[in-house]
Amino acid sequence: MRGPHNIWRLIRTGATLERTGAMGVVLDAFRAPPHLRLVARILGWPFAWLGYKGDVTQPPATRALTALGPAYIKFGQIMSTRPDVVGDELASQLRVLQDKLPPFPLAEAREMVEQELELPVDELFSEFSEPIAAASIAQVHQARLADTGELVAVKVLRPGIERAFRKDVDAFYLAARMVELLAPSARRLRPMDVIAHFEGVVMGELDLRMETAAAAEFASNTAKDGGFRVPQVQWFLSARRVMTLGWANGIPANDLGAIDAAGHDRKALGERVLRLFLSHALRDGYFHADMHQGNLKVAPNGDIIALDFGIMGRLDEYTRRVYAEIIFGFIRKDYHRVAEVHFEAGYVPADRDVDEFARALRSVGEPIFGMDASRISMGRLLNYLFEVTERFGMETRTELILLQRTMVVVEGVARSLYPQINIWEVASPIVEEYIKDNIGPKALARDLKRTARVLARFGPRLPQMAEAALMRESLPQVHVKGPTKWMRLGYAGVGAVTMAALIWVLQAL
């Protein structure tokens, strides 16, 4: 679907923002300078009639994003958790995007369930409700299992959602290509790679079999986490477009009035959300990457219940260690070590000055410490970080996109629960524990054992590998004469013996 026709899609995006009245709201929220406001209005006003009308009963921003499609709605969901970035008014408008979108008819949902599970709905469920929540990609129904009477949640994809998402993503590809062509300085951000990564994540979210597997893995990893729960997966009632989980009773995390009325400690809840996210990312390398308020509930006993596992993040162990060292360095105000870690990991080009980079990091980190989080302008902080990374030629790390995005969302959720929360103070014990267990002598011994297991798998093949090396060296070679050939044979033999000895030693550890 990629092609010039996507230009029309981008034009209609701007036109829709203008027609729905969202353009002014967005410009105000991001504190756009006067000249940018003037250009946006001059370009947008003549084409406003081309924009989608949307639902006139909704606030302007919500009206525009719902009219534009699911990818835009996803963006709005993220921004709804950041009133410190977009302002309270826009955040309030966007919050309804989390789980209060218009549903599709019950009859269509029942038809899809029957097609996917290949049995009549009434044979599977004794009860099947009207939709109780509707989001950008799917909606949820409460049902009761016919054989056990257990309450469950049945998630059903919106009809035609795959095509709708493809249309949005294709337009984003065009926008990314235009950025690369028209703004060479932005190429370091690798916009095409970013959109490709986003596409992969979204297409995975559109296959509920993958989400079912993700929920099961996440539940296994977090089974011993106090104050946290994942609903039980119903494997035999899940398919590509339908997923069934155990029912979760609780208060939505965005219903602060109900949370207060139930007597829950919002400060403790906010801190727990941050601690859990960091634990999952660092300890497991597998974390919920869509943790906005619409995907979290507070159980009657105060447990946090996670929902919607369509977007999950995964980090390899090396990246986890780098991430932990960076956070730990900021916590300890060791900006030089933070700078060194960036260079060691290849995040900053080797020809840059590490001391200068450390000084720039200090200018970012120092204002954070000892300050009430409600006084920090995250928008201003992110803007300055962008300037620093541009100055030192850092490229976008696609493997960290979900981590960075989720960190923004999780901090926003925690702050909505407790506005005075300080992310660094809450993160400190989690990161220190990870550093103690994963960077040092204990981690070295564990790495050696893993290396031994990998090398041991080659043990039975060592004779054949050595023989093959010797045979290659014994073949006639025009450029090899006299002792050089025998030196190579000797090296091959010594290499084989050394590898065998190394495997024996490591296995003995």
Task: Give every CB contact of residue 416 below 8 A, 6+ residues apart in sequence.
Answer: 81, 83, 253, 254, 256, 270, 293
Number of residues written out for the chain: 509
Reported as type and span, the H/E element at residue 75 is: helix 70-79
Q: Token digits for 240?
A: 């590509």
Contact 503, 459 (CB under 8 A): yes
Partners of 251 in the beta sheet?
A: 298
Phi, psi of 184 (to 5 degrees): -55, -30
Long-range Cβ contacts of 426-431 (<8 Å, 24+ apart): 426/271, 426/274, 426/275, 427/274, 427/275, 427/278, 427/327, 427/331, 428/331, 430/275, 430/278, 430/279, 430/282, 431/278, 431/282, 431/324, 431/327, 431/328, 431/331
Judge whether 372 counts as a catalytic residue.
Answer: no
Contact 50, 11 (CB under 8 A): yes
Dihedral angle computed from the Cα positions of residues 466, 471, 472 and 477, in that order, rounded to the nearest 10 degrees: 140
Q: Token digits for 288?
A: 């919920």
Q: Which of 84, 168, 170, 290 is catalytic?
A: 290
Evaluated on CA atoms 308, 309, 310, 313, the torsion sign reads: positive
Q: What is the CB neighbour count within 10 angstroms for residue 403?
A: 20
- What is the rounded CA–CA span in Å between residue 347 and residue 335? 15
- What is the rounded CA–CA span in Å between residue 421 and residue 435? 23
Residues assigned a catalytic role: 290
